[in-house]
Amino acid sequence: MATSSRAIALICILGSLFMVTSAQRCLSHTFTSNRVFSSCADLPYLQAHLHWNYVPSTRKAEIAFRVSQASEGWIAWAINPTSTGMAGSQALVAFHNSNGSMTAYPTPITSYSPSMLPGALSFQVSNLSAEYIEDEMTIFAIVGPLDHATSLSHVWQAGSSVSSNIPNMHATSGEHLQSMGKLNFLSG
Ligand SMILES: *[C@@H]1O[C@H](CO)[C@@H](O)[C@H](O)[C@H]1NC(C)=O
Ligand SMILES: *[C@@H]1O[C@H](CO)[C@@H](O)[C@H](O)[C@H]1NC(C)=O
In a domain, 51, yes or no: yes
Residues 45, 135 within the same domain: yes
Residues 45, 120 within the same domain: yes
Atom of ligand 1 nearest to the CA of 99: 1
Residues 21, 75 within the same domain: no
Whole-structure pTM value: 0.87
pLDDT tens sequence across 23-61: 558 989 999 888 999 999 999 999 999 999 999 999 999
Atom of ligand 2 nearest to the CA of 142: 13
3-state secondary structure the chain: CCHHHHHHHHHHHHHHHHHHHHHHHHHCCCCCCCCCCCEEEECCCCCEEEEEEEECCCCEEEEEEEEECCCCCEEEEEECCCCCCCCCCEEEEEEECCCCCEEEEEEECCCCCCCCCCCCCCCCEEEEEEEEECCEEEEEEEECCCCCCCCEEEEEEEECCEECCEECCCCCCHHHHCCEEEECCCCC
pLDDT tens sequence across 108-138: 999 888 999 999 999 999 999 999 999 999 9
Atom of ligand 2 nearest to the CA of 62: 13
Residues 18, 73 within the same domain: no
Residue 63 Cα to ligand 2 midpoint, Å, equals 13
Q: Is 60 in the pocket of ligand 2 (CB under 6 A)?
A: no
Task: Give me the domain span that covers residue 10.
Answer: 1-30
In a domain, 188, yes or no: no
Residues 3, 47 within the same domain: no
Residues 20, 55 within the same domain: no
CATH of the domain at 133: 2.60.40.1210
- Averaged confidence pLDDT in the chain: 89
Residues 116, 139 within the same domain: yes
The arithmetic mean of pLDDT across residues 90-105, rounded, is: 97
